[in-house]
Structure 1
Amino acid sequence: MIRISTIFIAICMVLVAASLGLILYSVAGLTASESAIVALTALTFLILYNAVSMRLRDRTDVGSQIADLSRGTADLARQVAEFGRRLAAVEGRVASANSAGAERIQAVVGEIGELGVLVRQLAVSVASHDDMLSAGAPPAPPPGKPANEPPKELPFPAEGANVAAEAVAPSVVATASAVATEKPAPSRSEAQVLNSLKAAVEENRLDIYLQPMVSLPQRKVRFYEAVTRLRDENDRVLAAEDFIGIAEAAGLIGRIDHMVMLRCVQVLRRLTVRNKDVGVFCNVAAATLANPATFAQCLDFLEANRALAPSFVLEFKQATFRNLGPAESEHLAALAQRGYRFSIDHVTDLRIEPRELADRGVRFIKVPATLLLDPRRSSTSDIHPSDLSDLLGRFGIDLIAERIEGERAVVDLLDYDVRFGQGFLFAPPRPLRPEGASATGGTSPSKAQESNGSSNGPPNGSDKPAAVDGPAIATPRATGNAALARRAAGPG
């Protein structure tokens, strides 16, 4: 739009030219045409003068604007340079902090590696002493060390060596304890087993035994597996593998699984009172998963106990997962939606698809130690056993080595980065006892717990839960192993 000042200047120029023409017409005596020509000439000169003056003024304004712009650009360049300097200083600090952190991490990794080597050496030494004691030969001094020279002190405290030594439980003692706890029933026909099974289900003579799963190499109890045992009318014990097939054929496996789930939940509630980090593994048969009516009853019970889902793991066989039908897959998805996690046992080969298992809710896989350590069986697998734990860990699945019966197997499994172990080396399955019952009969519960914790507790130095029963066993064999380990560790 035309500015008001420009309009005003134009009006003034017209008035000045008209006034000049009137003055010349009235005073100088010029004719009207001559006066008009003079007035138009004056108006033209005024217009030209105004245009030239405005052009000069615009040039001056543009020059000042360019100068202001150059000054602003210079200020902006100075600010950018200052920001660049500050950014370079921050990058230098971050690089120095990263290098310092990497050096600290490398130092810590080196110390952890040295500690792991020392622990392995201690385990090998204890295993060699155990083998010597089994053979009846006196323990020989370490190579390159005179027999009369006092042992050197290890870089870690003597208490840690004592704990590691007392954690070593000989497989012979564990096996003897398991044999003493369970009274095996003589061989009998399927009809007799079926009759005993029906009577046991009706009279609630299904017992729960707990076997711990420990972390490696600390041997701290992290989980318990519930193992089912049947007592006949003469209180003779039948193992699960002796009656599970007959129960599935007779259609009783659903009732058995429901009873076992009920007992496992009761055990888990008692365990979580003392330790919130302990979980329970409960075995579920494929027939229970495939039967809609039986599964609906179990699902209602599990739905009512969803608060225990993070600590309650449902365990299935590898064959069950490989032969899942539409109904079984739907039932597994229903359990996974309610927060329950799954475990796979009875693994016969290492052809495992971890991504598919993780999508179905599997968080644990139990592989026999012999399968992991046998090179002939691992050569036919899709993956080397040393890489299995890392592969499963990428998908959130933990590897558990089961049926461990010797210290040498533990040393080899540590090289495979196995985090959890289970077997008679750590503890055999032990039966439950009623709440508050004493394991020693006449002694008080506190003394009974002290006796159980010192002789039969899990080999991690922690107390055994009150739900597990087991007689106190104090053998010279275990005491001798602890003394040998303390002697190898040096004076406290």
Structure 2
Amino acid sequence: MIRISTIFIAICMVLVAASLGLALHALAGFNGMESAIVALTALTFLILYNAVSMRLRDRSDVGGQIADLSRGTADLARQVAEFGRRLAAVEGRIVSANSASSDRIQAVVGEISELGVLVKQLAVSVASHEDLIAAGAAAAAAAPAAKPEPEPQYEPAPAVVQPAPAVRPTPAAAAPEAASRGQPQLLAAVKNALEESRLDIYLQPMVTLPQRKVRFYEAVTRLRDDKDQIIAADDFIATAEAGGLIGKIDHAVMLRCVQVLRRLMVRNKDVGVFCNVSAATLANPANFAQCLDFLEANRALAPSFVLEFKQAMFRRLGPIEVEHLAALSQRGYRFSIDHVTDLRIEPRELADRGVRFIKVPAALLLDPKQSSASDIHPSDLSDLLGRFGIDLIAEKIEGERAVVDLLDYDVRFGQGFLFAPPRPLRPEGASATGGATANKEPGTPNASSTPVSMASQPAQPPVRASGNAALARRAAGPG
């Protein structure tokens, strides 16, 4: 597109040439043809002059552009050189870091190899010591009557280990008439106990191993009939489920457990309570809705309030149960599994459903047959569950030897009569009568259990050998 300045210059050149021709014709006396020739010649000269001047100006502009381009290229070359220098510095740092890492890895590998040698030497030493201990034990067993005098020096050990079996409240001793009752009589007794608030809560502690510090309590439910005879949970649960009373029982137990937890947390914020929930309650929308409303109101206690279900229930979960478990998990409640009959456990699936504890009987964990019947050796079960955030609790522990063996399995929590039997709650304000309650005659109800204060932990047995003492007695043989 022609620029306006060019058009203006052309017009000016035409006017100048025409003016020159007119001036020559008027003043100099040139005729029309001569004046036109002179004007055309002047116009041609002006056009040539303008073209030459524009060409020179364009050349000067191109030279400036080339100079600018040269300067930009030089700047780009300097930046590329700077980037190259920085890249070389980074490569040098990476090479030095890799060399340092390889040196550290080689040092760690050397230390690990040295530790392996030391472990092998330790294993050989331990094996030789075990052989010597086994030989000494065999010699002592072969000649029991050779030295009758040293026996008194081992007298205190058995006395220390005994967990006071006389205070174990077994269901058969607590409710001798439960087995002889018929279904209608037992159902009527359960109804009367619920209507008259004769539902008792017993607490059994769960302790850390090997420290034996109380960390949790399990709430065990008992009912008392009109004669104050105790009915254990295993005796009335099936009847209550068949009679449609299990929802009321679970709701009442949850209420009592929350009250217990609140009173326990006054002195110890780290304590927790395990509350058993029936599968029938979880599967019944009406009963579950009532329990869910109560648990929603006490949502602040969710981290310390563990809901416990049977293993058989988790293996036959239906859509309703799965939905109800998800509703509880969304509110922060954690679950525990008890009544474990085998070690075929899927920890990932259980962890996804909110399970954080699994209670396995100590006899089942220590059973040699379980290593072949399950996919994992019992000694590796605690580590496997721990990878998914699940703690293993060994229950029904009744002897020190079982504790020693369980420590080899890396079990962190234990529960059983060895530590404390289930004891009934002591009502608030009954501390002054606690001693009298503990000294009841054997013939009175509940004499086999000492009431537990709600504001303190249950009393441990007076003297008990630690795991190291048990190991020492085990090494000394059956003396």
Contact 2:427 2:453 in 1 (8 A): no
Quote the residue 2:162 is aligned against. 172
Match of 2:77 among 74, 79, 82: 74
Superposed, 1:359-398 pairs within 5 Å as 359-398=352-391
**2:322 is matched with which residue: 295, 308, 329?**
329
Q: 1:291 to 1:38 in 2, by over 3 A?
A: same
Match of 1:184 in 2: 174
Residue 152 of structure 1 is matched in structure 2 by none
Deviation at 1:72, TM superposition (A): 2.2
CA contact (8 A) 1:435 1:467 kept: no
Q: Which residue of 2 aligns with 1:430?
A: 423
CA separation in 2, counterparts of 1:468 and 1:351?
35
Q: Cα deviations across residues 225-266 of structure 1 (Å, max 9, x unaligned)?
A: 111123344544443223322333333322222221111000
Structure 2 partner of 1:54: 57
Identical-residue share of aligned pairs (%): 64
Whole-Å Cα distance in 1 between the matches of residues 402 and 470 of structure 2?
Answer: 22
The code of the aligned residue for 1:474 comes to P
SS at 2:350 equivalent: helix
Of residues 216, 241, 246, the one that matches 2:234 is: 241
Higher radius of gyration, 1 or 2: 2
Task: Label 1:365 to 1:240 Cα distance change in 2 as closer, same or farther (>3 A).
Answer: same
How big is the shift at 1:267?
0.6
CA drift at 1:81: 4.2
| Cα deviations by residue, 1:383-436 (Å, 9 ceiling, x for unpaired) | 443444444444443333323344554455455444433333443323211224
1:277 equivalenced with 2:280 (yes/no): no
Give the counterpart of 1:466 among 446, 452, 455: 455
Q: CA deviation at 1:2?
A: 6.0
Q: How many angstroms does 1:346 deviate by?
A: 0.9
Question: Are residues 441 and 394 of structure 1, via their aligned partners in 2, closer, same or farther at CA, if it must alter by over 3 Å?
Answer: closer
Deviations 1:14-62 (A, max 9, x none): 6676677677777695813422442343244224413431342233123
Structure 2, unpaired ranges of 5+:
141-149, 437-448
Q: What's the counterpart of residue 343 of structure 1?
A: 336
Query: May I ask how many residue pairs the two structures share in their alignment?
Result: 419
Aligned residue runs from structure 1 range 352-363, under 5 A: 352-363=345-356
CA distance in 2, matches of 1:16, 1:373: 122
Aligned residues: CA RMSD: 4.7
Cα displacement (A) at 1:189: 0.8
Structure 2 residue matching 1:274: 3-state secondary structure = coil
**Contact kept in structure 2, 1:183 and 1:236, CA below 8 Å:** no
Q: Secondary structure at the match of 1:400?
A: strand
**Counterparts of 1:303 and 1:413, CA distance in 2:** 37
When residues 97 and 176 of structure 1 are mapped into structure 2, their CA distance, relative to the original with a 3 A threshold, is farther
Correspondences of 1:207-218 after superposition (within 5 Å): 207-218=200-211
Q: Secondary structure at the match of 1:379?
A: helix
Query: Is the Cα–Cα contact under 8 Å of residues 170 and 425 in structure 1 kept in the other structure?
Result: no
Shift in CA distance, 47/465, structure 1 to aligned 2, threshold 3 Å: farther
TM-score (norm 2): 0.70
Q: Is the 8 A contact 2:425 2:453 kept in 1?
A: no
| 1:375 partner SS | coil
Deviation, structure 1 residue 478: 4.5
Query: For the structure 1 residues 270 and 51, does the alpha-carbon distance in structure 2 shift closer, same or farther, using more than 3 Å as the test?
Result: same
Distance 1:342 1:17 in 2: 109
Which residue pairs with 2:67 in the alignment? 64
TM-score, normalised on structure 1?
Answer: 0.68
- Does residue 295 (structure 1) correspond to residue 288 (structure 2)? The answer is yes
- Pairwise CA distance, 1:336: 2.9
Assess if the C-alpha contact under 8 Å between 1:432 and 1:469 holds in 2: no
Distance 1:136 1:338, change over 3 A: farther
* Contact in 2 for aligned 1:281/1:314 (Cα 8 Å): yes
Measured in 1, the distance between the counterparts of 2:394 and 2:342 equals 13
Q: Which amino acid aligns with 1:316?
A: F
Question: Aligned in 2, Cα 1:353/1:395: closer, same or farther, shift over 3 Å?
Answer: same
Deviation at 1:319, TM superposition (A): 1.2
Take 1:395 and 1:402, find their aligned partners in 2: how far apart are those partners?
Answer: 21
Structure 1 match to 2:244 = 251
- Asked if the contact 2:207/2:213 (under 8 Å) is kept, the reply is yes
> How far apart, in 2, do the equivalents of 1:186 and 1:50 lie?
129
Moved more, 4-13 or 326-335: 4-13
Q: Distance in 2 between matches of 1:468 and 1:441?
A: 14
Q: Secondary structure at the match of 1:347?
A: coil
What is the alpha-carbon distance in structure 1 between the residues aligned to residue 7 and residue 417 of structure 2?
109
Q: Tell me the distance in 1 between the aligned counterparts of 2:103 and 2:231.
A: 62
Letter in 2 for 1:259: A
